[in-house]
Structure 1
Amino acid sequence: MAKPEKVAAVTEIADSFRGASAAVLTEYRGLTVSQLTELRRSLGEGTQYAVVKNTLTKIAAGQVGINGLDDLLVGPTAVAFVTGDPVEAAKGLRDFARANPALVVKGGVVEGRPVSADDIRKLADLESREVLLAKLAGALNGSLAKAVGLFAAPLSQTARLAEALRAKREAEASAVPEPAADASPAEAGA
Structure 2
Amino acid sequence: EAKIGYVFQNYRESLYPWRTCLGNLMVPLELDGVPRKERKKKVEEFLWKLDMSIREDAYPYELSGGQQQMLAILRALIYEPDLLLLDEPFSSLDFQTTLWMHDKILEVWEKTGVTILFVSHNIHEAVYLADKVVVFSKRPARVVEVIETNLPRPRTYKITETEEFFEVRNRVMELFREEIMDSFLFMELSGF
TM-score, length basis structure 2: 0.29
TM-score, length basis structure 1: 0.29
Instruction: Please say which structure displays the higher CA radius of gyration.
Output: 1
